[in-house]
Amino acid sequence: MSEQKRVRRTSEQIAADLDKQIAELNESIQEVEAKKAEAAEKFDAKIASINEKIRKLQTRKQELLTPKKRAPRKTKAQQIKTLVAKAQKSGMKLNEIAEKLGVSIEE
């Protein structure tokens, strides 16, 4: 049997192979970066939706904590005055209002 000697590669061939490996690793880095960016976008979207929910809850909280404006309360005398004023605006005279109420007006 004849021995075959191993063919030695030149430094240029070795450098070319190393360049191929470097290119492959750079491609894998780009793929990983793309996956990273994709995942970051997904998480950013999730964070944005959660922040929106937080804002909605904060507005509900503010609505609950701020008291609603109530109509000012009127005394009985004020209510009677407004009632008489409305009756007069509708065209009734004081005598007619007194008759309806069953009260006599003293002059």
- Is residue 74 one of the residues assigned to a domain? yes
Please report whether residue 97 resides in a domain. yes
| 69-81 per-position pLDDT tens digit | 888 888 999 998 8
| Structure-block tokens of residue 88 | 């007069």
pTM of the predicted model over 0.85: no
Q: Do 43 and 80 fall within a single domain?
A: no
Residue range 2-48, pLDDT digits in tens: 678 888 889 999 999 999 999 999 999 999 999 999 999 999 999 99
Closest CA to 87 of 104, 100, 106, 78: 100
> Do residues 98 and 104 make contact, with C-beta atoms less than 8 angstroms apart?
yes
- Using H for helix, E for strand and C for coil, what is the string for 37-59? HHHHHHHHHHHHHHHHHHHHHHH
d(CA 15, CA 13): 5
Confidence of residue 97 (pLDDT cuts 50, 70, 90): confident
In terms of residue numbers, what domain contains 40?
9-69
